[in-house]
Structure 1
Amino acid sequence: MRIIRINQEICTRCGQCLSQCSSRLLSFSEKEEGSKNSTKLIFKDPTNSCSLCGHCLAVCPTEAIEYDKGDPCFTSAAILDPKHYSYDNILEILRARRSIRQYHAKAVSREDIKAILEAMRYAPSASNEQNWEYLILTDSKQIQEFSQKVLNMIRLTYKLVSNSLINTLFLWGPTRKLARDPSFLFSMKNLLNRADRGEDPIFFKAPCIILLHSPIYGNLAGNDAGIALTHGMLAARSLGLGTCWIGIAQETMQRIGKFNRWLGIPKGRTVWGMFTLGHPKESFQRAPPREPLRIVWK
């Protein structure tokens, strides 16, 4: 999307777009000779500084700002009235989402996956970068192989950290402390035992995985990914589907470059998150409690 011109015939010179432009690329000119209007709204971007956030389009009451491509601007009661959805309704939706770890074998329809991706497309991002790319895995053999590759790394890690000599000579600081934590070793061993029994403790035999990757830009790429993936997980919930963020596979891919190559993720891009997607076996009756927030008021 690029702004191409201002339709002076319908522009009301209200100035709302000026206040919304964080790059200050919109301004009023002086009256031109022969013009019936006292001023003219102009858009100048000689250094290509526009972040394409679209706030000027969204606030304009007459749609006087014209752009070259992209979706038509969207409006709804929720945009026109912030109270269209009550706080209680929103909180109920947020609390209802659960991390699902048991799925039916039934495939997720292409239409549902597209609907979830559409919700993710509208997530905000730093400087409106929108640098996400998505990899959708639906082949059960590929998902099973992916799970096995992650498990192999966990087996190797467990063998190393449970070795007292390696633990003493080659681990230090927080890594040594973690490796000596009985609960950490128990969790790894328990996960491997489940795999040996034929379970899939990584992807839970989900029929679909949605994986997000993008370049690194400052410290915000991971934040942006988290917002986008959360959009998708909430959208999935509204379709009666279950999701679970798979942090252990994310960590493995960020540490082992060959995993990215195996999945065909281009060099220079980082996997910031992924979640399973499928039809849940569980039917939850309530949302569990959460710990109180730790807050400092100043």
Structure 2
Amino acid sequence: MMNFTVDADKCTKCGECAADCLWGVIEMDGLPVVRPGNEANCIECQHCLAVCKPGALSIFGKDPADSLPLKGHLPDPAHMETLIMGRRSTRRYRKEGVDPALIRRLLEVASHAPTAVNMRPATLTVVDDPEAMARLRAGMTEAALAAVREGRIPAGWERIGDYIRRCETGEDILFRNAPHLLVVSAPENGLAPMADCHIVLSYFELLANSHGLGTVWNGIARALLTVIAPEFRARLGIPDDHLVACCMSFGLPAVRYHRTVQRPGAVIRSVGYP
């Protein structure tokens, strides 16, 4: 099933693939080999393919030549720092949608985010059609206002109720007029569904910002999908056994920021161990 092959003419027998194999699936016997019965231990991380400098190793039928080279193609640290510190929560959007091909590419790349034991359980549910987003916005806004009027906002969520009331004036406080919504979910009984989903959405956010898109983490949309108006889960096709971990509104921004902000930063402690 692994379709593990080695080009003997290219292989230098360095043993890096075996040394980097987390579960010891690969062994060295002159050339790298996978013993019968070891296949079941593979978590499909493809470290072996990535660590092989001459590109002599193939697994799952993947051709090393189809992978992207890393040397000379990574962003420099200064640009990464600016991207991280310059990212803003965008709450003003243009009406037109993002190119669907770009959205698909962003999702495909973000899905490379690390997950617990490389299980990759997250499902990325995206509303990529602005007209569909307009219908979803209208329906969820109506449901949210009904929940406020009927006193169905849970105790402790009064602030969310206050936000929802602002929709009575026609202000789109739920989605900030963004043309798209991304919902990330994963099976609730997984190893780390909340962490897996938040990591992949963080990757998506930074990549989207590098393309000039605006993003905002949408906790109100998550509250609606999980507690206040859960009927919209089914309408979006989110599986019943999934935990809706996080949501993000995104689109072309109608605001432009010109510099990073200056925050005090987190509490950083350097400790020794006696």
Q: TM class, shorter-chain normalised?
A: 0.7 to 0.9
Q: CA deviation at 1:151?
A: 4.5
Q: CA deviation at 1:268?
A: 1.4
Structure 2 equivalent of residue 58 of structure 1: 50
AA paired with 1:51? I
Structure 2 equivalent of residue 141 of structure 1: 135
Q: Is the 8 A contact 2:222 2:245 kept in 1?
A: yes
Structure 2 equivalent of residue 19 of structure 1: 19
Q: In structure 1, which of residues 76, 80, 100 is the aligned counterpart of residue 90 of structure 2?
A: 100
Alignment of 1:181-196 (within 5 A): 185=158, 187-188=159-160, 190-196=162-168
Q: Is the 8 A contact 1:154 1:188 kept in 2?
A: no
**Unmatched runs of 5 consecutive residues or more in structure 1:** 30-38, 162-178
How many residues matched?
A: 264
Larger Rg belongs to:
1
Structure 2 equivalent of residue 28 of structure 1: 28
Structure 1 equivalent of residue 34 of structure 2: 43
Alignment of 1:163-242 (within 5 A): 179=156, 185=158, 187-188=159-160, 190-218=162-190, 220-242=192-214
Distance of 2:32 and 2:154 partners within structure 1: 66
Q: CA deviation at 1:154?
A: 5.1
Post-superposition Cα deviations, 1:45-65, rounded to whole Å, max 9, x if no partner, equal: 626111111111011123222
TM-score, structure 2 length as denominator?
0.84
Distance of 1:244 and 1:206 partners within structure 2: 9
Q: CA, structure 1 residues 158+188, in 2 after alignment: closer, same or farther (shift >3 Å)?
A: farther
Q: Secondary structure at the match of 1:41?
A: strand
Q: Secondary structure at the match of 1:297?
A: coil
Q: Secondary structure at the match of 1:272?
A: strand
TM-score, structure 1 length as denominator?
0.78
Structure 2 equivalent of residue 264 of structure 1: 237
Post-superposition Cα deviations, 1:263-298, rounded to whole Å, max 9, x if no partner, equal: 221221222212111111112233333233212221
AA paired with 2:126? I
Q: Is the 8 A contact 1:25 1:45 kept in 2?
A: no
Post-superposition Cα deviations, 1:81-131, rounded to whole Å, max 9, x if no partner, equal: 59x533221110111111111112112221221222132122122211122
Post-superposition Cα deviations, 1:58-79, rounded to whole Å, max 9, x if no partner, equal: 1112322222345755233xx2
Q: CA deviation at 1:152?
A: 3.9
Question: What is the identity percentage for the equivalent residue pairs of Structure 1 and Structure 2?
Answer: 25
Distance of 1:276 and 1:118 partners within structure 2: 18
Q: Is the 8 A contact 1:4 1:68 kept in 2?
A: yes
> Which has more helix, going by share of residues?
1
Post-superposition Cα deviations, 1:144-203, rounded to whole Å, max 9, x if no partner, equal: 213433444455557664xxxxxxxxxxxxxxxxx4xxxx74x34541332110011111
Q: CA, structure 1 residues 27+209, in 2 after alignment: closer, same or farther (shift >3 Å)?
A: same
Post-superposition Cα deviations, 1:211-237, rounded to whole Å, max 9, x if no partner, equal: 112213555222121121112112221
Distance of 1:13 and 1:141 partners within structure 2: 59
Structure 2 equivalent of residue 123 of structure 1: 113
AA paired with 1:80? K
**Unmatched runs of 5 consecutive residues or more in structure 2:** none
